[in-house]
Chains A and B, each alone.
Chain A
Amino acid sequence: MEQLLLPAIDWLAVLPVGLTSILGLVLLALGLFVDDDETLGWITLIGLAVTAVATACLAGQKSITFNGTFALDAYALFFDLLFLVAGIVVVLMSMTYLEGTGIPSGDYYGLLAFAIAGMIVMASATDLIVVFLGLEIMSISVYVLAGAWRTQLRSNEAAMKYFLLGAFATGFLLYGIALVYGATGAFRLDRIATAVGDTPNRTMLIAGVAMLIIAFGFKVAAVPFHMWTPDVYEGAPTTVTALMAVAVKAAGFAAFVRVFLHGFGGLHADWSMLLWVIAALTMTVGNVLALAQRNVKRMLAYSSIAHAGYILVALVASGAAGGTAALFYLLVYSFMTLGAFGVVAALGSVGEPNETLDDYAGIGFRRPLLGVTMTIFMLSLTGIPPLAGFAGKFYVFTAAIREGYYVLAVIGVLNSAISSAYYVRVLIAMYLTPGAEEHGRVARQPYLLTSIVVSAVMTVVVGVFPALWMQLARFGFLSL
């Protein structure tokens, strides 16, 4: 009888993903017995907070385990914390938003935890197969979350569209991985990095890299792979939209940056041309189409496309400056976008989404807290100093200029100017357009308002003191 050898498992490396997935399982089970949505929300909050604290305690660890496929480094921890904090904010929003929707909160919070677990895997993966598995765990959970509000037709439509196109993108990802494997004989990023220099199968390798760009481009909603974004973001429950616009996008970029700057770093000259075009298109198409929107939720969907373009600029610039700027921009973008979708959620109610600009008329005076915070988010998304959005754009464009991408930087700045038109239009609607008289009492939204205030405070704090956060981003990127 042969001795069964248990594999050596580095439990510290899998602590964040382990805790999050256990939380998901516990929530699914509790959903059967606990009927109170608020209790389940609190359990999720506490679980995510405990995981975040545990993750923060891992700071300074650096190891690559599981046969070189899973990294515990500052880069992974930076993103883990970003996902967990975004998750906490989304749960706070959901605790108010789910009331009256009939969405079973045990399933909802359980799948939310699963999605975050998948994102954490994506941020840590140093192997294309593990990237794929993490991406699938995240995507499948989010497909279902997008359709969680099953009595709403547009939620069903969002889930169906996202699922069909997402499955297609997964096909591209797998085909790309197969071609890269065929050309280099490796799934592991470090082996790919050494093999790309002298592979005899260059055409196959480039074809594989192009397929991976399509797959990641879909997940981060880059033009021309963005077709699903407006419909899905508009149709999904607003809290899930916030999760998709922030955490799913950040997870896509976490894997994108690690795979391309680490694995395919030697091919930068090849893929940066492609990404240059995609970045320019993404910024321009996102911003120009956002101008035409009357629905604020849909406008924010196009705005999130445009912001993916800015992050792609940082990716094109590459190098320490570009990588750091990408991480910093994701941090900045997360808080202002979470907050903006929070305000959209706060103004709607079951049966009355109140998402068009007309519904925002006079809100600045009727609901002053929402008015002030929305002003902060809109100005920050435009890139007005001293808010966080300005610092983010500043670092991205500086990195682009430093690496010699002058034209791309100019396109980015011009796009920023275009974007101010539609962000300011929200402010005009809120403050300068006379609104209808108050109809009925405003519901109490303690959790939702907390999440909005937290996002607003973070947007201001990161904008006023960018150096500390920039240091974190640099620390994270340099650990790659």
Chain B
Amino acid sequence: MSLSVALFYAFAAFTVISAAGVAFSRNIVYSAFALLGTLFGVAALYVFLGADFVAGAQFLIYIGGVLVLILFAVMLTHRIADGAVSNRAAGGPAALVAVGLVAAVLGRALFKARWPVVDVLADGPTTHAIGDGFLGRYVLPFELASFVLLAVLVGAIVVSRKELRS
């Protein structure tokens, strides 16, 4: 097993374990910090895929932006860590069966799949191709994505602003 393969599995395990931490921690502050590990691990996996720009964007946006915002929200919310959960999870056994079934189907799909294998990933920056793609072949999804963000911005302001006209 070469070093890069070992590293890949290390990062994959790190990602999954932190994700489990996010899901299972009873304390939302711990969950928020565990999310750091998940997002970092995913960024590392992007590096293994040769997606340098996506990995960089993942760092800047998800770790630098989204996660910091989540931490702020968690810390500024009064007594959020007290953990009085108003809606307890119900139907545990049924949920377990459902999750088991979905996991079985997805597991079967994964292990039976014939993945297309690429021998060597092209080394080098991907930004040029991404930029060309955004303003060329994929100009419509690119513009629509900015439209989605605009709708989110407007919606967030409409929902959260204080004054209502009388």
Residues of A near any B CB (own CB < 8 A): 5-7, 9, 14, 21, 28, 66-67, 69-70, 102, 104, 107, 110-111, 114, 117-118, 121, 127, 129-130, 133-134, 136-137, 140-141, 143-144, 147-148, 150-151, 159, 179, 182-183, 185, 200-201, 203-204, 207
Contacts and interface: CB of A to CB of B under 8 A. Distances in A.
B158 A144 contact: yes
A182 B106 CA distance: 12
Nearest to B155: A144
Given A69-B140, A69-B141, A201-B113, A107 B154 contact: yes
A9 B135 CA distance: 11
Given A7-B135, A137-B148, A207 B106 contact: yes
Interface in B26-76: none
Interface in B130-166: 135-141, 144-145, 147-148, 151-152, 154-155, 158-159, 164-166
B144 A137 contact: yes
A64 to B, nearest CB: 12
B108 interface: yes
A69 B164 CA distance: 41
Contacts of B113: 182-183, 200-201, 203-204
Given A110-B154, A203-B109, A207-B106, A66 B140 contact: yes
Contact of A107 (B138, B140, B148, B158): B158
A28 B140 contact: no
A27 B81 CA distance: 42
B139 A203 contact: no
Interface in B95-116: 105-106, 108-110, 112-114, 116
22 contacts: A6-B135, A7-B135, A7-B139, A14-B140, A28-B154, A70-B140, A102-B164, A102-B165, A102-B166, A110-B154, A111-B154, A114-B154, A127-B141, A129-B141, A133-B147, A140-B151, A140-B155, A144-B155, A148-B158, A182-B113, A203-B108, A207-B106
A141 B149 CA distance: 11
A170 B121 CA distance: 31
Nearest to A210: B105
A150 B164 contact: yes
Nearest to B157: A107
Interface of B: 105-106, 108-110, 112-114, 116, 135-141, 144-145, 147-148, 151-152, 154-155, 158-159, 164-166
Contacts of A179: 109
B112 A66 contact: no
Nearest to A6: B135
A141 B159 contact: no
8 closest A-B pairs by CB? A204-B109, A144-B155, A133-B144, A66-B140, A203-B109, A201-B113, A200-B114, A107-B158
B135 A117 contact: no
B158 A5 contact: no
Given A102-B164, A201-B112, 10 more contacts: A7-B139, A21-B147, A28-B154, A67-B137, A70-B140, A110-B154, A150-B164, A201-B113, A204-B109, A204-B112
A182 B114 CA distance: 10
A66 B155 CA distance: 28
Contacts of A137: 144, 147-148, 151
Contacts of B147: 21, 114, 117, 133, 137
Nearest to A9: B139
Contacts of A136: 148, 151
Contacts of B136: 5, 7
Contacts of B105: 203, 207
Contact of B114 (A7, A66, A201): A201
Nearest to B162: A150
Nearest to B152: A140
B76 to A, nearest CB: 20
Nearest to B110: A204
A133 B112 contact: no
Contact of B164 (A70, A133, A151, A203): A151
B80 to A, nearest CB: 17
Contacts of B159: 144, 147, 150, 159
Contacts of B154: 28, 107, 110-111, 114, 144
Contact of A141 (B106, B109, B144, B155): B155
Nearest to A141: B151
B46 to A, nearest CB: 15
Contacts of B112: 201, 203-204
A430 to B, nearest CB: 35
A203 B138 CA distance: 30
A203 B113 CA distance: 8
Contacts of A141: 151, 155
B136 to A, nearest CB: 5
Nearest to B116: A185
A133 B139 contact: no
